[in-house]
Structure 1
């Protein structure tokens, strides 16, 4: 007689390995906390006034008002409403992803990078500089952010060809991308969304951001080159060991860079410049930019020689890759909807303004910078963090006497800098995995550069406060 299979109960169960909660899990937990807070936090509101078409909080006018706590179904209705209210931003992210997928799939980006590599071979400083600048520009305009991960493998090839190590490979790709992302002077996912929420003109204040971009990227290149020089003089100084001394094969460093590729990159560059002009001259909005990315995707596909089905499917593939990041915007918005409906958002703003009241505007701006850096540990999504932070920072900026432009940059620096070192950053950990660099080794190398970045941020935010960096 056969006996049924039974699992012997030894009384010892394997402990499940703890995992860092996903961003969606964290945001849902924050949503639940917001719901609970509607039962504990008093409802209140500020009086507001409209100045130059922008609604502003009037300091000192907070008072308690009647409000109703959130119910069970309100949790899920807020998620639905968050998606609806954030539809313009969500589709901006999706359509941008679709457009850049067409450009990337054409081979223009990879071909351009490897052409720059081949043109500067044997000139290590210029090679590091050119590649870093290309990736930094990609990060600043939103072309490359999370999409940098597969390009890290190219960085490894370049580093091997120069007889350097994997840290240099990560630095000239991921590190350079996020050096540009730190400022994001034309980044629709961060500055674009934050300025839209803050109700200030899209991509306004660009001159000061470009100056900060040049300084941050320049220092990042210098820092990387200083480390690379040490390795060229003494490979034993590498934190992770230099890559195999044999040169990378010629095939690895070859990729076609055709006339089509040149036309694609020229068109995309011209299109982005035109958008800057259109936002100033024609007052284009987030919706215009989302629509314009469809045009960029279609025209880039045509130049690349793709047929109509190929363009459509490639564009949709790019949208699909960014669904995760796009829907975060709606979930983050749900948190604010719960607080707004219960009328406790102004209560939170009032509570945050109290400890800042005794500070000068400069220190208040720095406090916003630090707060956003801490928030990024929990919400490592630039667009998601903008949706949570900016509705609070905008009225808070009005309260403490700084411009909303400064508040936007405080958010951007807080989000951007910590992406380069926090282990909760998915792109960082994936990039390190591709290059085979332990996080501890990277953190040891990155920390001095991060501190330099912070000093630059402090200077820029202080200047922004002192000059009344506008438009509002």
Structure 2
């Protein structure tokens, strides 16, 4: 009797045990990781010697003077200082936080109008029978979205559109992910007009907002071009021999119904307005020296005008804008938490000590190798902090003075951070958008990693070339 009961309950017990194990080994949330780093930084204030560099102001930018590090009196963090740093981090990062929130609100209005989906479907229908141009056009649209920060994490629902396209063409789900998520992050890798990454990093590095755009646009063309060619090479294999698919061909007779989204005159006007608005912003940052605060305010204007063109009433515009803000609260507040770590280190005067320690192994390296070291270090950091804005807040206050010391420009340091963050988002399983996109398309991570790895190597080679050129030409604000 007891034996029978035990046998009957054992599957339930096994399931419960497995669930407990899964919970035990669950990957910590980004906020948990950052709070743990904050605690470690607080403990470090008691163990790490306090020190400071002398600084000088050159062309309005405060720079570290190499070789001037000296120890100073410290100010270890108390228990309450940890939580005060969190509050102060939110306050000090207010401009950046609201930039992220307002950008999310504006892009939500644009997305909800149907203009983006309609434009993509129109591109699909215009390129029927010309699969290469279809891959190129759709990938370029998403890459531009990633480069200006319009898509990035919000690419997840668009992966479903990629699946529709792949079904219609009798391709597989890897192509669906590549032309949406993959293309988005190919553009995100450079982010020549991305407020969440390059914008924040340049603000911290104290260089003009969205400066150095020409070289970034050139890099964008090469990286996105390589992505399109790599995707097309795989696509052509599938068109010639469907058995070459890593995950199996999608085939659905009802796929044609999915490709009938309208693309109205309103949609065209919305996309034209948004494109013109972003071009004007580039002009304004150069001509009028607009800042992060101007950009945040400008996104409010973009959201309101796009809503009006879409025919939304005032309540619909306001609520849609706020829903977009709400979606990015998680990512926006990470900036404040990351800033709290630096506040603790700055108050205890151990941030310069960390910079000095990092500069020691780089002293014997050439400026080019130092830049590549920053690139690799940021790629590793992204495994723990898979947030572009959060990583910028942590790494740029260290990389900026470090760049001064090793003889490279801060513009190069910004791009080293951007490449390190952007590339690994496409393969690290700690990337939330990657795992969600793969789930939408039904692609196992192992299969995606196998497909993605060669392209990642190509990206890395292009990054090495760009960073080397940046160092050799002394890439500055222009």
Q: TM-score range by the shorter chain?
A: over 0.9
1:153-164 alignment runs, 5 A limit: 153-164=160-171
Counterpart of 2:146 in structure 1 is 139
1:394 matched to 2:388? The reply is: no
Query: What do residues 293-324 of structure 1 show as CA deviations (whole Å, max 9, x unaligned)?
Result: 00000010111111110000000000000000
1:256 CA drift (Å):
1.2
Counterpart of 2:471 in structure 1 is 465
1:314-325 alignment runs, 5 A limit: 314-325=320-331
1:16 matched to 2:17? The reply is: no
The CA distance in 2 between the partners of 1:442 and 1:373, in whole Å, is: 19
The CA distance in 1 between the partners of 2:259 and 2:100, in whole Å, is: 32
Counterpart of 1:253 in structure 2 is 259
The CA distance in 1 between the partners of 2:230 and 2:69, in whole Å, is: 48
Counterpart of 2:453 in structure 1 is 447
Contact 1:101 1:314 in 2 (8 A): yes
SS of alignment partner, residue 62 of structure 2: strand
1:470 CA drift (Å):
0.4
The CA distance in 2 between the partners of 1:250 and 1:190, in whole Å, is: 38
User: Normalized against structure 2, the TM-score is what?
Assistant: 0.96
Counterpart of 1:219 in structure 2 is 226
SS of alignment partner, residue 196 of structure 1: helix
1:127 CA drift (Å):
0.7
Counterpart of 1:265 in structure 2 is 271
The CA distance in 1 between the partners of 2:257 and 2:141, in whole Å, is: 22
1:43 matched to 2:67? The reply is: no
Equivalent residue in structure 2 for 1:345, among 327, 345, 351: 351
C-alpha RMSD of the superposition: 1.4
Contact 1:181 1:416 in 2 (8 A): yes
Unaligned runs of 5+ in 2: 1-8
How many residue pairs end up in the alignment? 464
1:471 CA drift (Å):
2.1
Contact 2:159 2:437 in 1 (8 A): yes
SS of alignment partner, residue 56 of structure 2: strand
Counterpart of 1:406 in structure 2 is 412
SS of alignment partner, residue 16 of structure 1: helix
Contact 1:157 1:248 in 2 (8 A): no
1:35 CA drift (Å):
0.4
1:274-423 alignment runs, 5 A limit: 274-423=280-429
The CA distance in 2 between the partners of 1:46 and 1:173, in whole Å, is: 46
The CA distance in 1 between the partners of 2:217 and 2:472, in whole Å, is: 18
The CA distance in 1 between the partners of 2:82 and 2:253, in whole Å, is: 57
SS of alignment partner, residue 392 of structure 2: helix
SS of alignment partner, residue 49 of structure 1: strand
1:250 CA drift (Å):
2.8
SS of alignment partner, residue 203 of structure 1: coil
1:235 matched to 2:242? The reply is: yes
Query: What do residues 376-411 of structure 1 show as CA deviations (whole Å, max 9, x unaligned)?
Result: 000000000000000000000000000000000000
The CA distance in 2 between the partners of 1:108 and 1:238, in whole Å, is: 32
Query: What do residues 55-100 of structure 1 show as CA deviations (whole Å, max 9, x unaligned)?
Result: 0000000000001110000110000000000000000000000000
Higher helix share: 2
Query: What do residues 267-286 of structure 1 show as CA deviations (whole Å, max 9, x unaligned)?
Result: 00000000000000000000
User: Normalized against structure 1, the TM-score is what?
Assistant: 0.97
Counterpart of 1:81 in structure 2 is 88
Counterpart of 2:203 in structure 1 is 196
Query: What do residues 222-268 of structure 1 show as CA deviations (whole Å, max 9, x unaligned)?
Result: 00000011111111111111112x44433200111111111101000
Counterpart of 2:97 in structure 1 is 90
Counterpart of 2:4 in structure 1 is none
SS of alignment partner, residue 143 of structure 1: coil
The CA distance in 2 between the partners of 1:335 and 1:371, in whole Å, is: 18
Equivalent residue in structure 1 for 2:431, among 425, 429, 440: 425
1:66 matched to 2:47? The reply is: no
Equivalent residue in structure 2 for 1:209, among 209, 212, 216: 216
The CA distance in 2 between the partners of 1:24 and 1:66, in whole Å, is: 31
